[in-house]
Structure 1
Amino acid sequence: MSESVSVDALIARRKPGYSLEAPFYTSQSVFDLDLKAIFGRHWIYVAVEPEIPEPGDCVTVDIGRASVIILRDDDLQVRAFYNVCRHRGARLTPEGASSVGNLVCPYHQWTYGLDGKLLFTEHMGAEFDHSCHGLKPVHVRSVGGLIFVCLAKEAPTDIDALAAAIEPYILPHDLRNCKIAHSTDLVELGNWKLTMENNRECYHCVGNHPELTVPLFEYGFGFAPDSLDDNRRVHAERYDQLLAESHARWESMGLPSREIDRLTDITGFRTQRLPIDGSGESQTKDTRVASRKTLGNLPDRSLGGLSFWTQPNSWHHFMSDHIVTFSVLPLTPDRTLVRTRWLVHKDAVEGVDYNLQALTEVWTATNQQDADLVAIAQAGATSPAYEPGPYSPHTEGLVEKFCAWYIDRLSAHRGLHRDLSAGVEVAA
C-alpha cells in the first residue's frame, strides 16, 4: 500500500470522540503532511507587535522548513517576508529578534529595504533588473497586536471574521502598548498535536497543576454532574452563578466576556472571560496582580482571565495587569517548540511595578508539567499496545473539536469529502 493511500485511510477511519491513531503522532510522512496542509496553508500565530515596536525591528521565526522575517517598516506597518536572499538563497537574519537599517545578506551583501525591495547589488551589471528580485512576501495580519502569518499563496479570508469578533474582547487590554517582560522557549518531547490536545482540556489539571489550580476554577473547563459528591456539586453550582454574575458585571463595564466558539471555521477560534479564584485579579499564586500598572484603561483589577484559543497553534490569557501568549511550532514528529511570552504595561518597571517571579511562576511551572505529560503521551503512542481511546464528553470536548478540525483540514487538502454523520471519507 502506498504512503498516500495509507494516510488517506487513516483520515477515513478516524472515529469521532476518540483520540487519533498512533501514526498521526509518530509518522514522518504524516508530520510532513502537517507542515504542508496545516502550517503551510493556515494562519499561524508567531509574534506580538511589542517585539517590533520601531522601524527596522524584526523577529525571525521558523515554521517547519520555512523561515519568516516579521518587521516594522518605515511607515510603521507590519510586514513579513521569506528569510531567503534572492541571489543564492542564503538566510538574511538568524532566528530571533534583531534591529536593522536595511536587510543585508551576510553572504554577498545584496541589500533590501524594509519594504522588501532590492536596493543594492554589486557586480551584477548595468542591465540587471533589481525590481524583479525583491524579497518574497508572506501574508501577515495583526489582530489586536497578535501577529499571524500565512505561508499559502492565497490565505484564508476568514481571518477578517476572527478579527471582527475577537478585537472587541482583546483591544481593551492594549497589547500594542505593552512590552515583553519575559520569554521562554520550551521543547516538548512530543508531537505538536499532543501539545495542543493537552492544552484543550483541564481533565488533567487537578493533581498535575498545583500552581495553576490556585487561580483557575476546575469547573470552568467542564465536569460530569453525576460524578460530583454533594459538596462539590454545591461548589459547581456556585461557580455557575459566579460566572453569570461576573459576565454581567464585566459587560456593564464595556468588556465583552461571553463565550464565542468558532473552532470549526478554517481559521478556528474560541474566546471567553472566566472568573479567577481568590481575589479574582490574576493568574498568580496569590491570585493578585503581579504588576501594579493596569493595562490600557481597564476600570478594575478583578477582571478574571480572558482566554483566546486559535487553531492550529496558539492560546492566550489576558488579565488586568499582564498578558501571556503561547505559540506552538512543530520541529519533528516527536519534538515541539512552545514559545511563551509574558507582557506588562510598557511603562512598568521590574522590581518597582512588578516582580518577575510572581509574574511568571505559575505558567513556568505549568509549562514544564505539561511538557512532562506530553512526553509520556508520546511514549505511549509509540507502543504496539496503543489504540485510540474515548474522550470524556464532559471535559474533553475541546480536544475533540481540535482533532475534528485537524482531520477536516487534512481532508480538504487531500481532496476528500468527509461525511461527518458517518465518520468516513470518500474521494471527491
Structure 2
Amino acid sequence: MNVEITRNVLTDDVVSRFDLETEQATGLPNACYTSPEWLKAENERLFARTWMLAGFCHEIPNKGDVCPVEMGGMPLVILRDNDGEVGVFHNVCRHRGAVVVPEKCSAQRILTCPYHAWAYGLDGKLRTRPHFYGGDKHDTDPGPDAPGLVPVRHAVWHDLIFVNISGDEMPFEEHWEPFTRRTKDYDFSALRYAKTLEFDVKGNWKLILENFFDAYHVPSVHPKLEEFAPIHTRDGTQTDGVWFHNTNPITEPQEGRGEGMPFYPGLDEKGQRTEWYFHLFPTTLFEIWPDQLAIFQLKALEPGRTIEYIHLYFIGEGATEPQYEPNRQAVYEMWDELNTEDFTIVENMQQARSSPAFDGGVLSPFWDPATQHFAKLTAKYMR
C-alpha cells in the first residue's frame, strides 16, 4: 500500500508544520511533486479513497451505451443499463484479468471479454462462459453466485458521474452539501454541455490545483482577469472540509466572460455580477459565472505531467444555437489564454521542485491558508 514512501516523505516533523499558524506553516515537500513512488501511492491512498469525477451522462445517453475510463491507474467502465440507469464497474474480467471493454461502444446488451469471451450483462452479472468445461462444453447458466464484474460505488449530480473506488468515503450527499448550500441561486438544470478543452501540462497535478485557489498571482499573471475582477476586490480562498471556495464581484462582463450569452434563469442582479469558484479535493474544480459552468478535471499521468480537461456548459440554447457560436468561441479562447498563462507558471514551479532550496514555502497569512489546508488534507489521506 506504499505506506513506506508516504511516511518517509510526510514525516511527523513535516506534518507538524501544517498545524502551525499560517505564517510559520509550510506546504507539501518537493517529493510530493517529483516522486514516481509518491504518485503510485496517491493512486492507492488518495484517488481511490475520495469522490472523484469519472465521467458524464452525456457520454452514455442511451441504454446499452458503454464508456471505459481510467481512474487512479485503474480501468473502470461506465454504462447505461437496460433500465436506463447509470452503472459503474471495474473493467476487469474475473477470469484472467483482461480489460473487458477496451473502447467506447453503444447498443450493447452483453459485455464480452476479448480474451476468452466470458460474457457479462449490463448489470455486471456473469451470463456465459464458453468452453469453460472443455471444447464445446459451455457454462450457459453460471448462477447468481458466479463471479460478475465488481461494482464501483458511484453517484450522479446532473450530468456528472462520481466514483468512490474504495467504497468507504462519506455519503455523496453529505460530501456535496457545502457546494449545494452555497449555490442555491443557480438552476443547474438549465445547463447544456457544449465542449471540452484539453491541455497537456508539464507539471504536477497539485501545482495546478494550488495555483487555481491562489488569487495572489492574478495581477502578475492574468492582466485581463485582473481587469475583470481586481485583486483589491478579492479575498483569500476559504475551506470547508474537502471543499475550497471563493467568490468575486464582477465589474463588467467581458468577451468570453458573460458578454452576450444567456444567464442562469432567475439570477438576481448580484448573481449576475458574481463569480464563484470551487475546488473539490482532490482533482475537480468548478467555475460558476452568470453564463456558464466550467468543470476542470485533472488526470495525473506522471509526477511532472498532467492532462487537464475543461468541460464547458452554457445555459439552454447558449450551448447549441448558431447565433451564440461567436460568443461560445470567445469563451473557449478566453479559457485557452487564461490556462496558457497559468501553465507557464506551473511548469516553472515544477522545475523548481527539484531544488533543495524549496522546502514547502513561506506562506502568506491572507492568501495561503488554502495551501496549508490542502497539505493537511493530503496528509490525512496519504498517512
- When normalised by structure 1's length, the TM-score is 0.75
Residue 191 of structure 1: aligned partner: 204
SS in 2 for 1:13: helix
Residue 389 of structure 1: aligned partner: 361
1:337-394 CA distances to partner (integer Å, 9 max, x unpaired)? 2111111245442432343321212221222222221111111111243333201111
- Contact 2:27/2:360, CA 8 A, preserved across alignment: yes
Residue 420 of structure 1: aligned partner: none
Residue 353 of structure 1: aligned partner: 324
- Contact 2:213/2:244, CA 8 A, preserved across alignment: no
Residue 80 of structure 1: aligned partner: 88
- Contact 1:211/1:365, CA 8 A, preserved across alignment: no
Residue 119 of structure 2: aligned partner: 111
Q: Pick the aligned partner of 1:52 from 45, 60, 66.
A: 60
SS in 1 for 2:337: helix
Q: Pick the aligned partner of 1:147 from 140, 161, 164.
A: 161
- Contact 1:215/1:278, CA 8 A, preserved across alignment: yes
2:97 matched to 1:89? yes
Residues 28 and 44 (structure 1 numbering): CA distance in 2 closer, same or farther, change over 3 Å? same
- Contact 1:291/1:359, CA 8 A, preserved across alignment: no
Shift of 1:322: 1.8
Shift of 1:260: 7.6
Residue 249 of structure 2: aligned partner: 275
2:349 matched to 1:377? yes
- Contact 2:118/2:126, CA 8 A, preserved across alignment: yes
Residue 164 of structure 1: aligned partner: 177
Residue 18 of structure 1: aligned partner: 26
1:42-97 CA distances to partner (integer Å, 9 max, x unpaired)? 111233333333323343321232022222323332221111123332223346x5
* Letter of the structure 1 residue corresponding to residue 44 of structure 2: K
Residues 155 and 78 (structure 1 numbering): CA distance in 2 closer, same or farther, change over 3 Å? farther
Shift of 1:290: 5.2
1:219-276 CA distances to partner (integer Å, 9 max, x unpaired)? 45437xxxxxxxxxxxxxxxxxxxxxxxxxxxxxxxxxxx98413xxxx114455322
Provide the C-alpha distance between the structure 2 equivalents of 1:40 and 1:306, rounded to a whole number of angstroms: 28
Provide the C-alpha distance between the structure 1 equivalents of 2:366 and 2:238, rounded to a whole number of angstroms: 18
SS in 2 for 1:373: helix
- Contact 1:290/1:354, CA 8 A, preserved across alignment: no
Percent sequence identity is: 27
SS in 1 for 2:371: helix
1:281-325 CA distances to partner (integer Å, 9 max, x unpaired)? xxx536434533x44565678252232221111110123322100
Residue 136 of structure 1: aligned partner: 150
* Letter of the structure 2 residue corresponding to residue 64 of structure 1: G
Residue 62 of structure 1: aligned partner: 70
SS in 2 for 1:33: helix
Shift of 1:29: 2.1
2:380 matched to 1:402? no
SS in 2 for 1:352: helix
Provide the C-alpha distance between the structure 1 equivalents of 2:257 and 2:292, rounded to a whole number of angstroms: 13
Provide the C-alpha distance between the structure 2 equivalents of 1:261 and 1:82, rounded to a whole number of angstroms: 32
Provide the C-alpha distance between the structure 2 equivalents of 1:317 and 1:290, rounded to a whole number of angstroms: 18
Shift of 1:201: 0.5
Trace 1:231-250 onto structure 2 (pairs within 5 A).
Answer: none
Provide the C-alpha distance between the structure 2 equivalents of 1:286 and 1:333, rounded to a whole number of angstroms: 32
Residue 101 of structure 1: aligned partner: 108
Provide the C-alpha distance between the structure 2 equivalents of 1:328 and 1:163, rounded to a whole number of angstroms: 19
- Contact 1:144/1:167, CA 8 A, preserved across alignment: no
- Contact 2:9/2:32, CA 8 A, preserved across alignment: no
2:336 matched to 1:368? no
Provide the C-alpha distance between the structure 2 equivalents of 1:286 and 1:127, rounded to a whole number of angstroms: 57
Provide the C-alpha distance between the structure 1 equivalents of 2:375 and 2:125, rounded to a whole number of angstroms: 41
Provide the C-alpha distance between the structure 2 equivalents of 1:210 and 1:5, rounded to a whole number of angstroms: 41
- When normalised by structure 2's length, the TM-score is 0.83
- Contact 1:58/1:72, CA 8 A, preserved across alignment: yes
Provide the C-alpha distance between the structure 1 equivalents of 2:105 and 2:238, rounded to a whole number of angstroms: 36
Provide the C-alpha distance between the structure 2 equivalents of 1:74 and 1:319, rounded to a whole number of angstroms: 37
Residues 113 and 160 (structure 1 numbering): CA distance in 2 closer, same or farther, change over 3 Å? same
Provide the C-alpha distance between the structure 2 equivalents of 1:127 and 1:93, rounded to a whole number of angstroms: 21
Provide the C-alpha distance between the structure 2 equivalents of 1:393 and 1:271, rounded to a whole number of angstroms: 17
SS in 2 for 1:147: strand
- Contact 2:5/2:37, CA 8 A, preserved across alignment: no
Residues 175 and 50 (structure 1 numbering): CA distance in 2 closer, same or farther, change over 3 Å? farther
- Contact 2:127/2:140, CA 8 A, preserved across alignment: no
- Contact 1:214/1:287, CA 8 A, preserved across alignment: no
- Contact 2:153/2:164, CA 8 A, preserved across alignment: yes
Structure 1 gaps of 5+ residues are 224-258, 412-428
Residues 207 and 85 (structure 1 numbering): CA distance in 2 closer, same or farther, change over 3 Å? same
Structure 2 gaps of 5+ residues are 19-24, 133-137
